[in-house]
Amino acid sequence: MKAYLKRMTRMCAVVACVGLAVVSWGQQSPAAGQTKGKGKGAAKGKARQSGPRAQANLQTYTTLDSAYAVVVLPDLQGLIDRLAPITSGLFPGKGEAAELKADWGENFGDPAMQGMPVGKGMAIVVFPGPYMAHFIEVTPEKMPAYLQHLNANGRGIVYEEAAGLLVNPMAHHWNTPDAAQQTGKAVAAQVKQLCFSAATREPNVRATVFVKRIVDQYDGQVQMLIGGMPMMMAMGQANMRGRGGAPADPAAIQQAARMLEAELRGLYAVARQVDRVDAQLEFPDGAIRFVETVHPVAGSNLETFLKAPAPAGNDLSHYLPGTGAMRMMWSVNMEAAMEFFTREANAVMAQMNIAEPQRGNLLKFFKDSRAMQGDLMAFEMLLPQSATMFDGAFVGRVKDAAVALDCLKNMEKNMQATGMADLYTTMGTPITMKFTEKVREHGGVAIHQLDMDLAMAIEIKTAPAEQTALMKQMMGDMKYEVAFVGNTIVYAMGSQKIETLIDAVKAGKALSGEPPKPLAAQTTFGPGGAMYMDFDLGRMLGVMAPMIDQNINQARNRAMAARGAKGGAAPPDPLNPVAALASALQGGGPIAMSAFIANGQAHGGVVIPAGVIQGFGQFTRTMQEQARARRQGVPSRTEPDGAPAAPAGF
């Protein structure tokens, strides 16, 4: 049994990687519409009741017109071959291709996967209910043996062949064997045509999620859940006070809950304008690549925004150092974005009966926020010399510098007027701001200062002293220096000197004096994107590691003193996990992200380079070696296959 559980655990790791994406099957999307009653593709009969849960409301389907999602793995063996370098790198000594194939094949009594040779795939279809069915390509010679093995060990599930595919109704999750079984057989031919007819099979994962169908089905439940936000938040605050948390005014709690409800309703309003999402997950050369396409509902506000022309202008990232652990740039039609936001915000506020003056104050606050950013923007955070998390630079093109400056002057007042300041206070993080105009000049350019303070009241009252000190150290002073060079706004934080940024913008040249250094995301995804982002996790952790190391030692010293330990302070911890992970990830490259807006659709992508994945594997090995070193002289039990046993008592 333990060996079986271990095999299933390893297979779960594979499934987890596959499940990172709900990805497009990309050839042809079936038309929307649910096949109930006597309409097209109508069910041929009601599902019988099975088990403790009645199936009176479950439908059977004869087409894919009502499917919530379709996921396709066109080449199972090829996918495992691509995935194995990743799993074996993350879990040293495990996850090799032969092992993964044997684990999968044993489910069918075929550890060599002879019945699923290279080029054979699998599809998963999710139907309303919800229930799902798996469709697996199996060679005709092996199909009888597969069915015999599965039905002998199927726990009441009936596996069948339909259209040359092995159909697994996956019924045991929802007690829906009849509906799932009948639907699986009925749609098998369509699944075969749409999912497995390609002449070439790519070793990836593809799927389509029909968002509109899901939203239409569960709209009432979602609306009810969002509408219950004020009550849920009030209960949470009551529990917090019961645990000694900071007391909050009931009126402030109600206002904060309403703000959160508005945000959720806004996000849900956007989701309701999505027709479907296509995406693809690949594993090229030990890396992970995920891309997706969002298709808006025809005629929706979202489609109108996505069809707006891109702003004219150049990439501003070359004005920045190019050395931050986090680098980002965007190019968005801000007027179209604000028009879209205003329409959605007005609809949400009408739904919630939010009246003037709060309605106007909220719209003004968000409009001002956009005025301080502009349609072109670039920023960097966590520079090599960073001592806090808030250390970096920002440059953006604004429409009107005078308007942007006025927005900065009145930011705190506008936050108070919207109720957002109360939201922060209720959540235990009261925020204060102070804007000082023209603290000095550089080359005829006025430099302003914006001070922000997040008090983190609840954490300070209830958390250990070391944790609070670490949080303060990581947050830093949160002082921003701001300047305008024409219609270009420049921010500098922490160690970054604003004077060098001003000089670069005035000269119209790269800050380094060398040709602009593109983001890795620009190289990976190509030109024309609305957003690019590089995130170097190793460098970010490298900034945090010294702070955490100091925090670890202080906590250990305090614990030793509390126990009355003799011989002075405790020695430093031999391993700071954050430092170890930062070291392992150094040189692995940044995680690259992008967003494109084209043809009325939104496209996104993420690439995790092989070096990052290998770094996590190296970190795992380092931690294992440290654990073994600490156990020297202590006998340890092992399982028959050599894996460490769980500690006694577990």
Q: Tell me the CA distances in angstroms from 622 to 91, 503, 553, 582, 634, one per residue in order.
A: 12, 45, 20, 12, 19
Which residues face 397 on adjacent strands? 376, 488
Q: Tell me the CA distances in angstroms from 516 to 78, 317, 383, 448, 511, one per residue in order.
A: 40, 8, 17, 28, 9
Integer Cα distance of 379 and 320 in angstroms: 7
pLDDT at 626: 78
* Structure letter (DSSP) for residue 381: E
DSSP 33-72: ----TTSTT--SSPPPPBTTB--TT----SSSTT-SEEEE
Token pair in block for residue 301: 């506000």
Integer Cα distance of 8 and 19 in angstroms: 16
Backbone phi, then psi, for 510, in 5-degree steps? Answer: -60, 145
3-state secondary structure 405-447: HHHHHCHHHHHHHHCHHHHHHHCCCCEEEEEEEEEEEECCEEE
Q: Which helix (H) or strand (E) holds 231?
A: helix 229-242
pLDDT at 597: 94
Q: Which residue reads 């942007």 in tokens?
A: 404
Of 160, 382, 344, nearest to 262 (Cα)? 344
How many H helices and E strands in the chain?
21, 18
Integer Cα distance of 193 and 258 in angstroms: 49
Q: SS3 of 263, please?
A: helix
Q: Which residue reads 């290998």 in tokens?
A: 614
Query: What does the pLDDT look like over 217-262, one tens digit per residue?
Result: 999 999 898 888 777 766 766 665 544 455 556 666 677 677 788 8
Kindly give, in sequence order, each residue whose CB lies less than 8 Å from that of residue 191, ignoring residues fewer than 6 positions away. Answer: 64, 70, 123, 125, 135, 163, 165
Integer Cα distance of 243 and 252 in angstroms: 19
pLDDT at 313: 76
CA 438 to chain CA centroid, Å, is 40
* Cα-trace Rg, the chain: 29
Q: SS3 of 266, please?
A: helix
Q: Which helix (H) or strand (E) holds 327?
A: strand 326-331
pLDDT at 91: 82
Query: What does the pLDDT look like over 87-140, one tens digit per residue?
Result: 888 887 777 899 999 999 999 999 999 999 999 999 999 998 788 899 999 999
Q: Tell me the CA distances in angstroms from 196 to 71, 143, 621, one per residue in order.
A: 12, 17, 40
Q: Tell me the CA distances in angstroms from 417 to 345, 359, 412, 420, one per residue in order.
A: 17, 10, 9, 8
Q: Tell me the CA distances in angstroms from 339 to 293, 304, 326, 403, 548, one per residue in order.
A: 23, 10, 30, 18, 44
Q: Which residues of 104-125 are buried (b: 16+ CB within 10 A; e: fewer)?
A: bbbbbebeebebbeeebbbbbb
Of 64, 100, 66, nearest to 82 (Cα)? 100
Work out the angle between the directed axes of helices 537-562 and 610-630 (0-180°, nearest 10): 20
Which residues face 124 on adjacent strands? 71, 134
Integer Cα distance of 96 and 426 in angstroms: 51
Of 644, 538, 618, 590, nearest to 91 (Cα)? 618
CA 235 to chain CA centroid, Å, is 28
Residue type, 327: R
Q: Which residue reads 């670069």 in tokens?
A: 504
Integer Cα distance of 484 and 444 in angstroms: 11
pLDDT at 640: 35
Backbone phi, then psi, for 315, in 5-degree steps? Answer: -60, 130
* pTM > 0.85: yes or no: no
- Rounding to the nearest 10 degrees, give the CA dihedral for residues 367, 371, 376, 378: -100
Of 591, 632, 598, nearest to 612 (Cα)? 591
- List, for the chain, all residue ranges whose pLDDT scores fall below the cut of 50: 1-56, 172-174, 242-244, 457-460, 572, 634-650
Residues 413 and 368 sit within 8 Å (Cβ to Cβ):
no
Residue type, 514: E
Kindly give, in sequence order, each residue whose CB lies less than 8 Å from that of residue 601, ignoring residues fewer than 6 positions away. Answer: 293, 294, 295, 296, 306
90: Cα within 13 Å, side-chain hemisphere:
16
Say how many C-beta atoms besides its own lie within 10 A of residue 63's C-beta: 17
Say how many C-beta atoms besides its own lie within 10 A of residue 299's C-beta: 9
Integer Cα distance of 193 and 165 in angstroms: 11
pLDDT at 55: 42
